[in-house]
Chain A
């Protein structure tokens, strides 16, 4: 629970969309939302529902047709681009980057709104740049060129740049879209960490439900034609509202396992053993298309399977034998 949460960014009755070939195409209707300082918020929803449009409107790239966006109580519209830059920073999924630039230089770009036209860093700017690299744990990469980094490191550098911008709000549009699992986990935990320590309001658009469940303080769930659903992830899970993320009953959120599953009837196999192991063996049997077992399957310790007198070192071995006997 965030201590003294107060609203960093607020949307009131936001409607927005695009004009395409003379026709107005409304994407989001009458949306209300509040982004709190010190809270790590994840925005989830199916593709094409308007998550990126919402992000664009927060960045001022897309003007809402109706409604008001308030940044710490002040209308976002009334802010000059430079003032807004001092408050709202952004990280996108993938960006063009100059390969010859070093991490240090990239992070220093975050100071842009504070510099004169020459772009010379003052002592204070330098401190903030070092601090941002420290906070994202990339100080050791300071002199590396961007072309020599991994995608994960580069994205961390982009996040450090957003931190160096020193605003109250950081918006990230699928920052982990092109990263591997470990990097996704690491970046989300990193974001969560400095949301607390730096007292930022952080909004992340993501499709990683598992990682979001683990890290987020708040979920925003956006669905076609429905109002924005906002709440603690745990509350949404317990109340079953999380199901709003899935378009049909084919997908079920498994509360026990904390993830979405292709819902299907699990046949009642006769399997003995610890529950968590039974689950995995069942899964393999379902995938193999086995609907029933004639004899009880026993999971032995150390791991192995036993049917009657026969023992198998692996599920693979058991299935092999099973299908051989079928023929």
Chain B
């Protein structure tokens, strides 16, 4: 118990430090002392630093924070609900669904003559969320019938390829401009949001995360499966819709704004389980949220190291780090037992 509670300040402190580090890193290195001075006293050594900080670095760091929280929370919810250690927004095709929603809007929109200016941040987020929820409902129908991780993975993978086929057809018929817009979106970027969009995203992440923190008890009971959970008074039908709503809003809006970001949702809950040595959601929910934010901030920092000529796509980086992590966890003995 003591061990578990003492982890929170440590992870919280690391999160604060990585947030600061993230603000410093980029094509131009801004020393931490300057950032602190700038924020606390409002004095900047160079005017350009203030510009970079306010208009680019700070919103990007906030988006990384929000996306990390949102993706890990949706991953944890899905893993517990499906009782499947490999569940996550990306693997189960929820991100692909969000991608399809956005693609339909961007690519099909141009076919119907909606100009690029007409696609607002609201519309993008809405399309992403709708797409994500549609997939989740569909995958859910399959997943509640099968306990087998293989089947679920295959369904998710098949859905992913079906979606990319649909997107392929859409791109074939769409204009160069909207095609480029979509391609850039699909590489993932945390830094493409203006302040209004950051505001909207934080609102959505807050809305998606809110029910999670009232559901620790129910998710703990669901660890034993739905029959046991119902026998202990949990309304599993209601929880199902809460899970779909929450993960749909979280993964959908984040994917809509930042593009697909792989592996955070599936890997972070496992790291939290390992660190906290617990399956109690009272620790896992806040723990995963903190860890997710921490990890995504670090990944984003890595992608902005000064010696890259330009920033690496964040999706590539999380995949490069996440894939070996998940592979090593799967190969570990007792992986599914420890879940």
Contacts and interface: CB of A to CB of B under 8 A. Distances in A.
Interface stretch (B63-71, B183-191, B230-238): B230-238
Nearest to A84: B233
Nearest to B147: A96
Contacts of B337: 99, 147
Nearest to A101: B279
Interface residues of A, number: 32
| Interface-centre pick from B83, B218, B338 (highest chain A CB count, 10 A) | B338
Given A112-B221, A116-B217, A147-B334, A100 B230 contact: no
B282 to A, nearest CB: 6
A81 B225 contact: no
Nearest to B274: A100
A100 B279 contact: yes
Given A100-B338, A112-B221, A81 B230 contact: yes
A47 interface: no
A61 B227 contact: yes
B339 A98 contact: yes
Nearest to B83: A96
Nearest to B217: A119
B216 A90 contact: no
A110 B278 contact: no
B197 interface: no
B34 interface: no
A86 to B, nearest CB: 7
Nearest to A162: B231
Contacts, number: 89
Contacts of B224: 95-97, 109
Q: How large is the interface on B (under 10, 10 to 19, 20 to 34, 35 or more residues)?
A: 20 to 34
A230 interface: no
A110 B220 CA distance: 11
B233 A81 contact: yes
Interface in B260-282: 273, 277-282
B228 A92 contact: yes
Interface string A117-158: 111100000000000000000000000000100000000000
A130 B224 CA distance: 20
Contacts of A100: 273, 277-279, 338-339
Contacts of A239: none
A76 to B, nearest CB: 13
A105 B234 CA distance: 17
Contact of B227 (A90, A109, A118, A165): A90
A99 B339 contact: yes
A95 B223 contact: no
A89 B282 contact: no
A85 interface: yes
A99 B232 contact: no
Contacts of B221: 109, 112
B113 to A, nearest CB: 48
A278 B215 CA distance: 66
| Interface-centre pick from B218, B228, B230 (highest chain A CB count, 10 A) | B228
B227 A101 contact: no
A115 interface: yes
A53 to B, nearest CB: 14
Contacts of B307: none
A327 B209 CA distance: 84
Nearest to A86: B233
A325 interface: no
| Interface-centre pick from B220, B225, B233 (highest chain A CB count, 10 A) | B233
B230 A109 contact: no
A109 B282 CA distance: 13
Contact of B231 (A89, A101, A120): A89
A312 B273 CA distance: 64
Nearest to A88: B231
Given A92-B227, A110-B232, A147-B334, A118 B339 contact: no
Contacts of B112: none
Nearest to A167: B231
B3 to A, nearest CB: 12
A59 B147 CA distance: 22
A118 B334 contact: no
Contacts of A84: 233
Given A97-B224, A100-B277, A101-B223, A60 B215 contact: no
B282 A118 contact: yes
| Interface-centre pick from B214, B224, B231 (highest chain A CB count, 10 A) | B231
A113 B232 contact: yes
A248 interface: no
A109 B230 CA distance: 12
A201 to B, nearest CB: 16
Nearest to B234: A112
A119 B219 CA distance: 10
Given A96-B83, A101-B278, 15 more contacts: A59-B230, A81-B235, A95-B225, A95-B228, A96-B225, A98-B279, A98-B339, A99-B337, A100-B339, A101-B279, A101-B280, A112-B217, A116-B217, A117-B218, A119-B216
12 contacts: A81-B233, A85-B233, A89-B231, A90-B231, A98-B279, A99-B337, A99-B339, A101-B280, A109-B223, A109-B224, A112-B221, A117-B216
Interface of A: 59-61, 81-82, 84-86, 88-90, 92, 95-101, 105, 109-110, 112-113, 115-120, 147, 165
Across chains A and B, which 8 residue pairs bring their CB atoms closest together, nearest first?
A85-B233, A119-B217, A113-B233, A99-B337, A112-B232, A98-B279, A82-B233, A99-B338
